[in-house]
Amino acid sequence: MTACLIEHFSPLDDPRINRNKSHALIDIIILTVSAMASGADGWEAIEDFGKEKLAWLRQYVPLKNGVPSHDCIAYVLCRLSPKKFQECFMSWTNACRERENR
């Protein structure tokens, strides 16, 4: 699942400048999508999910600097192109649906 997720979200442009990248964009995306799919309903809940499930998340993405703060998550996600994020998300969910229908 995660390889597919990483593949479908790779076209997203990272809105941050290089010196402000303590966490990889794909790490934040995987964390957020996983947390939201598990019922997280806000920035703090996403951070809490990451802390609770860090070992599980690291099976898929390195999170080499640990779990980003809720402020970091919000900052990054709010600066992504909503249209491009939607395209990536739809591409991923459609691929999952097609794989299930085989």
| pLDDT for res 30 | 95
Q: Which residues contact 45 (CB under 8 A, 6 or more apart)?
A: 35
| Tens digit of pLDDT at every position of the chain (102 positions) | 555 889 999 999 999 998 879 999 999 999 999 999 999 999 999 999 999 999 999 999 999 999 999 999 999 999 999 999 999 999 999 988 887 787
| pLDDT for res 87 | 95
Q: Which residues contact 81 (CB under 8 A, 6 or more apart)?
A: 12, 13
Residue 60: how many CA atoms within 13 Å on its side-chain side? 20
| pLDDT for res 86 | 96
0.75 surpassed by pTM: yes
| pLDDT for res 20 | 76
CB count in 10 Å sphere of residue 52: 13
| pLDDT for res 68 | 97
d(CA 79, CA 13): 10
